[in-house]
Structure 1
């Protein structure tokens, strides 16, 4: 029992010595500002950058909106 307590005390002292001798290094954070030039695009260039799904979705939206407008015109003005 006495040997166990001496061993535990020695282990605690040993771990305290190891942790207290560590060097603490501070990391320096550098923040830099970067200017980004915005490119001016013509509508044709913007359309070329869009994928096939985006162009198809725009066409479908136009057709759906046209059908909705026609249905609203059929219903008429309630006022």
Structure 2
């Protein structure tokens, strides 16, 4: 789990800040697209495109792994 967590943290850190911010607001902040757009002061379309770029970048950095699966894996480890 620590290896997955470290890989995910490194991949997140490598993302451009604006893409990372959108991803974190939606994935971990549980905001919807409209809420994230309002929080960042950008149009909803910009949120959608940045989220797509962030997810694509994470998949590429993690060798095709689903970032959500790694997140779920670390949560399971934390609970157990």
TM-score, length-scaled by structure 2: 0.27
Bigger relative contact order, structure 1 or 2 (CA pairs below 8 A, ≥6 apart): 2
More helix by share: 2
TM-score, length-scaled by structure 1: 0.27
- Greater C-alpha Rg: 1
